[in-house]
Amino acid sequence: MLKLLAFDYGASSGRAIGGLYDGDTIKIEEIHRFSNDPVSVNGTLYWDILRLFFEMKQGILKAVKIYGQDIASIGIDTWGVDFGLLDKKGDLIGNTVHYRDLRTQNMIEEASAKVPKEEIFNTTGIAFQKFNTLYQLLAVKKNQPHLLQNAKTLLFMPDLLGYFLTGEMHCEYSIASTSQMLDARAGTWAFEMLGKLDLPSDILRPVVNAGTKLGQTSNAINDELNLKGITVISVAGHDTASAVMAVPASKGRYGYLSSGTWSLLGVELDQPVINEKTYALNYTNEGGFNNTTRLLKNIMGLWIYQECRRSWEKEGTPVTFDELENAAEAAEPFKCFIDPDDDIFYSPGKMPQKVVDFCRDTGQRLPESRAEIVRCIMESLALKYRYTLDGLEDILGWQIPQLNIVGGGSQNKMLSSFAANAANKPVITGPIEATAIGNLLCQLISAGELKDIYEARELVKRSFPVHEYMPCDKELWDEAYARFIKILKMKG
């Protein structure tokens, strides 16, 4: 029985997941779970990176207690775009800043004043999002130039945590691709573009493929945790890239939706699609395992729903997701819609009121209860999925026959059912822990236990259950979609 350990850091929580591979199937178990809470200090929103590394060490201790010392390897995946800066001694310079911090306001405009947006997109293939690493670095250069002057190395979050664990510095391809600083065709840094923006490229490490051996846990970690030493693999470090590895699909065409705080909806391709249509529709070409491309759109996922629940709990009335969804099932359908990607929903706080305000500003009937707010969010997400699928099919020139939903959001039966109805496509949900599973699959491929991604996906099919939702009520959802499109145009 081969024993593996995956650390999966999401925007709201992290887990250490153990994997047990017997040569035919893989079983997983949650060993350690912890919250990932941003910290606001003097108006800046940070990640508590040292706490996150502390939790990693706790996960390793628990894993060793369960599995003993013969853990074959460790892999780490996280969300994209964020990073830490290291000085010439390898020490972290300051705290790592959260992508939802407001420092990147107007940075897209400042970048495009030096390099036209078309040129940035044609080079990187990445959609314009104000949280991209490119704009974070521009904000640092403008407001805190001393940080870049003292920086010797930039490491993205999974690579930074891997460095803390091993003392070795790598930059894995999939996580680097989220930065909008990588040449999408060449797979190397976009040095010419970065030079035009007067950003330092010497702080960037060479890019390595997912599955590369990072190193062994360092002597200091081994002494602290009483380890014999564990191999650390640079898996597909971007959590969506890991999740896509675990999509239980064949070699045929399919769409995927990695559903959690964010919804990332796309297709897996051999090459990036960089043209006028992709640029106009603001789709992105991110890197995947084995240098594939994930042509996708970022959608503001279950973040809005999660924030609503936090707000209601702060009012002193604890409520579970199941209770909210059961009530929403009975609420009036198609009463009102939001655009989940509207800027009003980007920052935390007062989310229920923001939903009401959006409906008021767009001249709709207002949601009057928690149940109606939840129903509004879920229907709107499903309709945004259809809108995104329509755009993908327009770019690709072919129909996407089914949608595979993976990740924690695949447990949401209401949203999965609505997605099937809205898109008028079969929806296959599962596995739930797709990101951690993809992390483990990459370790198995790296170790030579699995031949390739196709063999890995067959392993997923044998090991984890899936559920299927068939579309219904097409006319009702078509009518709702027409109303939804009008709202998007109104706000656009």
Query: Which active-site residues does the annotation give?
Result: 239
Residue 248: name the closest of 419, 439, 450, 456 by CA: 456
Complete DSSP assignment for 75-133: EEEB-SS-EEEE-TTS-B-SPPBPTTSGGGTTHHHHHHHHS-HHHHHHHH-----TTSH
CA angle 10, 12, 16 (to 5 degrees): 50
Measure the CA–CA gap between 217 and 232, rounded to whole angstroms.
7
Rounded CA gap, 464 and 433, in Å? Answer: 10
Rounded Cα distance, 180 and 174, in Å: 12
Look at residues 74, 79, 254, 97 and name the one whose alpha carbon lies nearest to residue 164. Answer: 74
- Cα distance between residue 125 and residue 76, in whole Å: 25
Rounded distance between C-alpha atoms, residue 383 and residue 377, angstroms = 10
- Strand pairing class (171-172; 207-208): parallel
- Exposure of 13 by Cβ count < 10 A (0-12 exposed, 13-18 middle, 19+ buried)? middle
Asked if residue 465 has a cis previous peptide bond (ω within 30° of 0), the answer is: no
Q: How many whole angstroms separate alpha carbon 160 and alpha carbon 426?
A: 39
Backbone angles phi, psi at 260, to 5 degrees: -165, -140
Nearest to 379 by CA among 343, 447, 317, 332: 332
